[in-house]
Amino acid sequence: MDGGPAARFGGSLNPAKRSDVFSMQISVKLAALFSFVFAAVCLWFAVDALKSLADITDPAQAAGAGDFVWFWGFLAGVGVVLGVVTWTIAERQTEDKD
**Domain-embedded: residue 76:** yes
**Would you place residue 78 in the very low, low, confident or very high pLDDT band (cuts 50, 70, 90)?**
very high
Q: Tell me, what DSSP letter sits at residue 16?
A: T
**Domain-embedded: residue 13:** no
Handedness of CA 74, 79, 82, 84 (dihedral sign): negative
CB atoms within 10 A of CB 33: 15
**Domain-embedded: residue 67:** yes
Domain assignment of residue 40, given as a range: 26-97
d(CA 59, CA 73): 21
Q: Which amino acid is at 55?
A: D
**Domain-embedded: residue 41:** yes
**Domain-embedded: residue 19:** no
Percentage, residues of the chain above pLDDT 90: 41
- Is pTM beyond 0.95 here? no
**Domain-embedded: residue 60:** yes
User: What's the mean per-residue pLDDT of the chain?
Assistant: 82
**Domain-embedded: residue 11:** no
Q: Please tell me the total count of domains within the chain.
A: 1
Q: Tell me, what DSSP letter sits at residue 13?
A: S
Per-residue pLDDT, 66: 85
**Domain-embedded: residue 85:** yes
d(CA 82, CA 88): 10
As a whole number, mean pLDDT of residues 31-53 equals 93
Per-residue pLDDT, 4: 59
